Chain A
Amino acid sequence: MTTNTLLRWGLYAVLILFAAFYLMPLFVMLTTSLKSLEEIRTGGLLSLPREITFAPWAEAWSTACAGTQCEGLRPFFWNSVLMAVPAVAISTVVGALNGYVFAQWQFRGANLFFAAILFGCFIPFQVVLLPMAQALGFLGLAGSIPGLIFVHVIYGIGFTTLFFRNYYVTIPQELVRAAKVDGAGFFRIFFAIFLPISLPIITVSVIWQFTQIWNDFLFGVSFSGPGSQPVTVALNNIVNSTTGVKAYNVDMAAAIIAALPTLLVYVVAGKYFIRGLTAGSVKG
């Protein structure tokens, strides 16, 4: 009995220790962002701020320098919004229609094409970086937000197609056959039967794509211009700005601002976030 209670305590101790490990960086970011530079230099990393100041947040949002541009994260935050919203919407719509075809309208060669799409999900993006830079220039999209939207849609449809295909494949094909006998066409069946039951998988797809696109750095740093950089690129530039005193509190405030949208999504819809993460890796 006593060994059992002891074990139980040990169990909780380990679990709480790990919780502390995962929470520590967030705690440090938050407390650092609320301290003055003076207090950061004199106080400990893990101590609470003696005097809370929101000045670093204001600076991170509207005046911090990313390279030579000193407008804070704000313009880049909106760049990310302007990039993510259309890219998420388009790739989800395309993925839904693709998935619907793969799951319910099989034709010769469809399986091979599906394999080719799936394979595309796994390529290291480094292998398309150079030709994409050329192609964007050729299309007149280099260094622009539409260019970034284009790239994110192209390399996002693999996963969205996979999500919807694996979801729609569980719906009995007899249903489609019966609807066809009744004279309903491809789109009619999609809108009347499939779309109404799709809310969960749409949520999964939207959250997955939003997180991917918002958090992306590689495409952002490779294909954006001075006016179209997403927030992750700007954050990195702010942190590595060499001009003036190193403002750790501003860096941390900027990091939290850049992380807020995806954190919010995680807190509100964590269940769907996890489903997206596992859908890509677990047999569908």
Chain B
Amino acid sequence: MEWLERNVPKLVLAPSFVAILIFVYGFIAWTAWISLTKSRLMPKYEIDGFGQFERLFAAPRWDVAMNNLFIFGGLFIVISMVIGLLLAIFLDQKIRAEGVLRTVYLYPMALSLIVTGTAWKWILNPGLGIQETVRGWGFESFTFDWLIKPEMAIYTVVLAAVWQASGFVMALFLAGLRSVDTEIIRAAQVDGIPNHRIYSAIIIPTMAPIFLSAFIVLAHLAIKAFDLVIALTNGGPGYSTDLPATYMYAMAFSRGDLGQAASSAMVMMGVIFAIVVPYLYSELRPRRDH
């Protein structure tokens, strides 16, 4: 009875412990194992070496997917950060109806990426969408057909993703701006330092941790972006807008190539870990405050 009393906290954690052990770490190990075998339609368990990874890196479709990840990820992160910071600074200027504007900027984040993709697919379709509308205004030669152009379609994914997430970045930055010590700002204003210098020299440098947080969240979203591509372009035209996530899914569920699915998933995890591990490490280490 006393043993029970003493160990209640551990017993409460036990189910989660077992679940995380099996369904996160055990499953990662399983996928890693499969990525080293010759598995096709059914899992095989004899280790074969790095053949799957060699096949993966030789596949043109994977090449496109990784290229797209860097184009999409890079643009999505940079543009969302720029828009987010700009809107946050602008909203910080004692704006009337700030609450309404904030609500408007942030609502896309509450939507499913499938909804976002469906909406933008309709807006961007060349036949009846924005292209046709602008032509209707008299600009007969206006062309905006990125959605059906293989070399441009990935930028429509960027556009929709920025629409979805930039308001969230704004909210992060605005919270950061508001948490800067007002005494310092007032002192700088008294000294006659111009506003833009106050931002660039005092406020923004103190927000470095927020830049990092925003970067981590956006990078994470970018690597996991699967739903948006499925809904907006379904990887097409051809496989020109494939991302690693859609490649993995195609291999796993329509091509019946478990080995390729597993090895591509492992590469995705490698990319995420390269970004997240240093971040988590720095987050968890200096916890001497309590």
A-to-B contact residues, CB < 8 Å:
11-12, 14-15, 18-19, 21-26, 28-29, 32, 40-41, 44-46, 94, 97-98, 100-101, 105, 107, 110-111, 113, 115-120, 122-135, 154-155, 157-158, 161, 169, 185-187, 211, 214-218, 221-222, 232, 235-236, 239-240, 248, 251-252, 254-256, 258-259, 262-263, 265-267, 270, 273-274, 277-278, 280-283
Complex: chain B residue closest to A12, CB-CB? B95
Contacts A127-B265, A239-B121, A252-B122 given; does A281 touch B216 at CB 8 Å: yes
Task: Say yes or no: A98-B105 contact (C-beta < 8 A), given A11-B93, A248-B128, A259-B112.
Answer: no
Is residue B227 within 8 Å, beta carbon to beta carbon, of the partner chain? Answer: yes
Which residues of B have CB within 8 Å of A125? 224
Q: Kindly state the separation between the CA atoms of A126 and B243 in the bound complex, as whole angstroms.
A: 12
The smallest C-beta distance from B225 to any residue of chain A, in angstroms, reads 10
B residues less than 8 Å from A23 (CB atoms): 104
Contacts of B216 in A (CB 8 A): 281
Question: Quick check: B128 and A45 within 8 Å, CB to CB?
Answer: yes
Cβ contacts A to B, 15 pairs, < 8 Å: A45-B128, A45-B129, A117-B16, A126-B265, A128-B28, A130-B265, A133-B252, A187-B8, A215-B114, A217-B114, A252-B122, A263-B107, A266-B110, A280-B217, A281-B216
Known: A23-B104, A217-B113, A262-B111. A236 touches B230 (CB 8 A): yes
* Residues of chain B at the chain A interface (Cβ within 8 Å): 5, 8-10, 12-13, 15-17, 19-20, 23-28, 30-31, 34, 43, 83, 86-87, 90-91, 93, 95, 101, 103-116, 118-123, 128-130, 132-133, 136, 163, 167-168, 171-172, 175, 209-210, 213-214, 216-217, 220, 223-224, 226-227, 230-231, 234, 244-245, 248-249, 252-253, 258, 261-262, 264-266, 268-269, 272, 276, 280, 283-284, 290
Residues of B within 8 Å of A128, CB to CB, are 23-24, 27-28, 31
B270 to chain A: closest CB distance in Å?
A: 10
- Contact across chains for B104 and A240 when beta carbons are under 8 A apart: no
Q: Is the CB of B128 within 8 A of A40?
A: yes
Q: Is the interface of B mostly helix, strand, loop or mixed?
A: helix
Verify A240–B234 contact, CB threshold 8 A.
yes
Q: How far is the CA of A91 from the CA of B132 in the complex (A)?
A: 47
Q: Which residue on A lies nearest to B212, using beta carbons?
A: A281
Residue from A15, A105, A169 with most neighbouring chain B CB atoms (10 Å): A15
Kindly list chain A residues whose C-beta atoms are within 8 Å of the C-beta of B245.
124, 126, 218
B114-A127 in contact (CB<8A): no
